[in-house]
A and B are shown apart, each in its own frame.
Chain A
Amino acid sequence: MQTQLGSAAFPRLLRRSLSYIPSILYSLHSLLNLFHFFRFLSNSAPQSQKHKEMASPFLSNTTISFSSSLSSSSLPRIAPSIPFSSIRSNSTPRRILTVRSKIREIFMPALSSTMTEGKIVSWVKSEGDVLSKGESVVVVESDKADMDVETFYDGILAAIVVGEGETAPVGAAIGILAETEDEIAEAKAKAASKSGASTPSAPPPAPAPGAASTPGPPKSTPAPAAPTVAEGPRKTVATPFAKKLAKQHKVDIESVVGTGPYGRITPEDIEAAAGLSPSKKNVGLAVVVETKPAAPAKAPAASAAPSSLPPPVPGSTVVPFTTMQAAVSKNMVESLSVPTFRVGYPVTTDALDALYEKVKPKGVTMTALLAKAAAMALAQHPLVNSSCKDGKSFTYNSNINIAVAVAINGGLITPVLQDADKLDLYLLSQKWKELVEKARAKQLQPQEYNSGTFTLSNLGMFGVDRFDAILPPGQGAIMAVGASKPTVVADADGFFSVKNKMLVNVTADHRIIYGADLAAFLQTFSKIVENPESLTL
C-alpha cells in the first residue's frame, strides 16, 4: 500500500495515558498535531516528497496515525530526512541493495510535533515472533503519551536493536523485521552492525540521568579523594539544562569548555558551541525547541525576515546566508541590546615598530604583539576583561583570552589566543599561526573561537586610520586598531617632531565599564606599546 520506500507501520493510540480524552476533542487535537507534523516535515527538508505520499493514506484513513515508523532498508535515498541516517548509511555500506524490501527496519516514530526522541516502554513482541499486519509491536513513550506502534507488514521480528527502557532519537532503527525465516540470520547481522554503529551516537542517549557523564573516573575518586577533585584531570560538570540542550542540539558535551562557576558547562556554553545566540535566561525550553527540526544549514538564519521590506529591485539576486554569515548576522543584531560607548586614544608606535623589525625574523607577527600588549594591559585592568551576562552582575573572567577578528572568504571569525597574558610572544605567534591555518581549513573547535574575553580588530594594514568596532555579545570590550602613520607632534616644550602614531578605539559595555575605566586601560596600553621591552619578557 505504500511505496517501496514508504513506511510500514503506524502508531496507534492505545487506551493509555490519553485515552480518557473524549473522542471528538481528542481526534481534533491529534489531527491538528498531525497537521503540524506534516507541515514541519515538508518545510524541513528537500525530502518531503516521500512524506507527502505518506500523508495521503493517513488523511484518507480515519485512523489516527502519525509518521512512518518502519521503512525498508533502502534508506539512503530518504536519508536527508532524518539526521541520524548518516550514521546508518555509513555503517551498512551497500548490503542495502541486496536486502531490499526483505529486511525492514522498525523506526522510532515521531509521535508528536515536539518529539525528538522516544523511550521504549515495552516490546509487545519478542525476537522471533511472527507479526501480521496491524499488530502492535512495541509501546513507545513520547514526550506526551505512550503509544502502540503497529506493523504494516507481515514478517518476523528478527532483532530488537533498542531494548526496553532505552531511548532512541526519532528515526533511529529500534528493531529489524525479516520477511521470512531465512532472512533472520542476515537481519541479525544487520542488527549487530546497527547497534555497533550506534555506539558513536551512544553518548547522547547515555545522559539518561544517573549514567550521565560517568566514564570511569568516579571509581578512581572515592570519598576521601573528594577534596582533591578540583585538581588534576577533572570530569566534565554540566548543569541539567546544559545537558538537555547538548542532547537537543547534538553537541558533544565533552568537547565544550565550561565557563561557569568551577569550570562547569552552562547552557550558554552549549548554545555558543551549537552556534546559537544565547537565549535569555529563564526562557522556557519550548522556545528553543522550535529551531531544531530545520535543516542545519539554515538553522539560525530563518528568524528575522520581516515581510515589510520593500520589494527587491528587478534583476537582483538573493543569496542566502551561509551558516557563518547567519551567525554573524544574529550576533550583530543581538549586539544592539548592549549600551556601548567608545573611547579613542592615540598611541606612538616608534618603539613598537622598531621592536617588530627585530622580532619579525623570529616569526612574530604584529597581531601577536598587539594581542600581547592588550593582554598585559588587561591584566592590570581586570574590569575591562569582565563581561555582563545577565544585566545584573559583573562576570570577572579568570583568563585573558584575546579574540582576534579575521576575515576568511566571505566570513568573519575570531580565533582566540587563550591566556595571552601568560604565553610569551613567540609561543603566542606560533599559536596564532596554527589558529589561522585551522580557521582557513574550518577546523576550529568551538572553544577556539568562542572563548574570547576581549576582542582585537585590526584594519591598519589597509591604511584605515580609525574605525569603530561593534562589541560582540558576551564580552566587555573590543579594540579597533587603525594604521600607524607618521604624524607631526608638538611636545610640551613646543618642539615639533615626526612620530608614528596609531589610533586605537575601544568599544565597551557601559553597564560595567565606565569612561574612566576605559581611559585608564588605554593609558596603560599606550604605555606598554610605547615601552615595548616588557612584551618580549
Chain B
Amino acid sequence: MHSTLSFSRATTVPTTNYAFHSQSPINLRFCGLRREAFGISILTRSSSGRVRLSTRGRSKRISASTGNNGTPPKSFDYDLIIIGAGVGGHGAALHAVEKGLKTAIIEGDVVGGTCVNRGCVPSKALLAVSGRMRELQSEHHMKALGLQVSAAGYDRQGVAGHANNIASKIRSNLTNSMKALGVDILTGFGTIVGPQKVKYGKVGFTDNVVTAKDIIIATGSVPFVPKGIEVDGKTVITSDHALKLEFVPDWIAIVGSGYIGLEFSDVYTALGSEVTFIEALDQLMPGFDPEISKLAQRVLINPRKIDYHTGVFATKITPARDGKPVIIELTDAKTKEHKDTLEVDAALIATGRAPFTNGLGLENINVVTQRGFVPVDERMRVIDANGNLVPHLYCIGDANGKMMLAHAASAQGISVVEQVTGRDHVLNHLSVPAACFTHPEISMVGLTEPQAREKAVKEGFEISVAKTSFKANTKALAENEGEGLAKLIYRPDNGEILGVHIFGLHAADLIHEASNAIALGTRIQDIKFAVHAHPTLSEVLDELFKSAKVLDMKTLRKMKS
C-alpha cells in the first residue's frame, strides 16, 4: 500500500527539461505507444508477475531458436539486460517486466541517473523556489492581486536541502519500484565483452559475467565542458554542482543559453544574483522557435538583471583564486579574435551534455562511436563500424544523442522492448514534447516554424500558423499572468499538426494535448471539437485549434482544379 502511495506521488513531481522525469512505474510514458487503460499499479504488477513466470519458457524457446547465429546455443541468464539505471533504463525495465521479460539493470553509480540526481528533478525543486520568490518579490503583481507581503527572503541551506530531499526521495521510489517488480539491480560498471554478454563489477572487485538475449545501452551523458575551461566545482561549475546550490554568487556568468542555462538564470536571478549569458551563436535561446525565443527574451531576459554576449566563445575560464575573481576570456565566434575579458564571481558551464560511453567495451563488438554517441537506426538498433546492425544490441537515450531528453530515452526504451517482444515499433520523435521550466515556462513539440517551412518547400505543401495569447484566457488573467503565446504550425490542406510552441503559465503541462495529438495522428478538424473545462489554461490550446483554418474538401477541390 505504501508503495502505491509513493507512486502516485511520484507522478506529480514536476519533471524535465534537458533530462526528464522518471519514477512511477506503470502509468506514464506511454506516449503514443499504447492505448490500454492504465492499470492501477498493484493490479498490473501482480498480473505482470504471473506473465513473467509463464513467459520464461517462451524466451528460452526463442533463445534456442536463435542459437545458431554466431553464439553457441545456450540459455541466457536474462531476457534483457539494461546498462544504466537512469530514466531511460528504468522505463525500459518496467515495460520489459510488464511484457514478461526476465530483466536486470546494471548501475555503476546511483539509480536514477542524471535526471533524478543531477538534472531535472533537483532543478525543479530550485525552480519551484525561484517561482515563488519571483512572485513574492514582484510588488506590482502582488498589488494587482490585492496582496501585501513584506520582504521575501530565503535560506540557502533550506533551498538546497529541498532539492536534495526530492532527489533522494525519487531515487528510492525508483529503486523500490524496480525491486518490487523483480528487476535485478546489479551494481558496478557494465562492459560488453561479446555478443549478448556483459561483465560488470566494481573497481577492484572480481567481475561477474552475465548473458542476455537482448542488451540495451542506456548510459546517458555527463555535462560537456569545452576546452580551456577549468572547472573547480566552486566558482566555475557545471549543473552538477549548481544543483547543490552551495553558494549564491552576486554575479554569475552562464555559458550557454539553452534549457539548462535559461533555467539556472531563472533560479539565480530570483535568488538575487545578476547573470551574464555567453552564447556562441548569434542569438540567445537557439533551438527554440524564433518567435518564441524573441518573446521569451522580452520576458525572461530583458527586464531581469541579465546581460549577454552573443557570437562569442568562452575560450578560457579561470576559477577565482589568489584574491582574483573568475576571469573569462571571450573570443569572437567568427573572427576567432579576442573580444573581451569578463570578471565575475562564478561561472556556470551549460554548454550541453556529452555522451557517457567510455569503457562500454564497444570495441569488442566492432562499434565505433561518433563524437562519443553510439550510432543507431530509427529502431535504436546499434550499427557497427561496417554499417551493419549488431544483433540484440540497442542503445537509448542521451548515449545515442537522437534526442537528449529523459522522457525521450524512456520512450525509446519502451519502443525497444516492444520490438524484442515481437511487436515492431518506431518511435515518432516529432511527438516527443520538450519543456523549459522558467517562469513562465516554455514548451514545444514537433517542428519549429523555419523547420516546417523548409519541409513544406521540400515536400510541396502549404503550411499555416495560428496563434493565441494568454491575455485572452480567463484563467491566466485571474492569475494575473497574461503574458504568453501559443503557436500552432499546421497543414491547412489536411489539418495535420506539425508543431506547437507555448510560452506562458504552465506551458509545460499544456503541451501534452498537442503532443498526444501528434502521436496519435489526431487532426485539427477532429481535436477542435474536444471540450475543455472552463475556465482553465487548457483553453489556450482549445482556442488555438479553433483558430486554425483547415480547408474543407470543396475549397480543396476548387483549388486543385
Contacts and interface: CB of A to CB of B under 8 A. Distances in A.
A264 B471 CA distance: 40
B311 A229 contact: no
A262 interface: yes
A286 B338 contact: no
Interface string B512-552: 00000000000000000000000000000000000100000
Contact of A223 (B137, B309, B316, B469): B316
A21 B472 contact: yes
A38 to B, nearest CB: 21
Interface in B229-273: 250-251, 272
B312 A284 contact: no
Contacts of A214: 339-340
Given A280-B151, A284-B137, A284-B139, A17 B294 contact: yes
Nearest to A286: B140
B353 interface: no
B341 A143 contact: no
B309 A226 contact: no
Interface residues of B, number: 48
Nearest to B307: A240
B318 interface: yes
B341 A209 contact: no
Interface string B434-471: 00000000000000000000000000000000111101
A369 interface: no
Interface string B150-186: 0110000000000000000000000000000000000
B341 A218 contact: yes
A361 to B, nearest CB: 45
A349 to B, nearest CB: 42
A167 to B, nearest CB: 12
Interface stretch (B37-45, B296-304, B394-402): B296-304
Contact of B137 (A241, A261, A282): A282
Contact of A283 (B139, B250, B303, B466): B139
B343 A262 contact: yes
B107 interface: no
Interface stretch (B25-33, B323-331, B361-369): B323-331
A237 B306 contact: no
Interface in B270-315: 272, 274-276, 291, 294-295, 298, 302-312, 315
B66 interface: no
B485 interface: yes
Contacts of B469: 18, 20-22
Contacts of A209: 307-310
A209 B305 CA distance: 13
A17 B289 CA distance: 13
Contact of B324 (A143, A222, A230, A287): A230
B250 A261 contact: yes
A381 interface: no
A352 B258 CA distance: 66
Given A17-B295, A144-B298, A210-B310, A237 B468 contact: no
Contacts of A218: 338-341
Name the residue among B305, B467, B547 with the largest chain A CB count within 10 angstroms.
Answer: B305
Interface string B318-353: 100000110101000000001111010100000000
Interface string A207-237: 0011010100011011100110110000001
Contacts, number: 109
B140 A261 contact: no
Nearest to A214: B340
Interface in A1-41: 17-22, 25-26, 29
A239 interface: yes
Nearest to A262: B325
Name the residue among A209, A218, A244 with the largest chain B CB count within 10 angstroms.
Answer: A209
B471 A25 contact: yes
B255 to A, nearest CB: 14
Contacts of B340: 210, 212, 214, 218
A309 interface: no
Given A21-B469, A210-B310, A240 B274 contact: yes
A486 to B, nearest CB: 51
Contacts of B472: 21-22, 25
A260 B249 CA distance: 13
Contacts of A222: 338
B307 A244 contact: yes
A213 to B, nearest CB: 9
Contact of B276 (A226, A240, A283, A285): A240
B137 A210 contact: no
A281 B272 contact: yes
B231 to A, nearest CB: 18
Given A20-B485, A261-B325, A219 B341 contact: no
Contacts of B345: 261
Nearest to B272: A282
B295 A229 contact: no
Given A229-B327, A241-B274, A261-B325, A287 B312 contact: no
A243 interface: yes
Given A214-B340, A218-B339, A286-B303, A20 B251 contact: no
B404 to A, nearest CB: 28
A223 B467 contact: no
A226 B327 contact: yes
Contacts of B138: 284, 286
Interface in A256-295: 260-262, 264, 267, 280-287
Nearest to A241: B305
B329 A210 contact: no
Interface in A391-419: none
B274 A239 contact: yes
Nearest to B323: A230
20 contacts: A17-B294, A26-B471, A144-B298, A209-B310, A210-B308, A210-B311, A219-B338, A226-B318, A226-B327, A226-B329, A229-B343, A239-B274, A240-B274, A240-B275, A241-B274, A241-B305, A244-B305, A260-B250, A286-B138, A287-B140
Given A17-B485, A210-B339, 12 more contacts: A21-B472, A29-B471, A218-B338, A223-B338, A226-B327, A229-B343, A237-B343, A281-B272, A285-B304, A286-B140, A287-B139, A287-B140
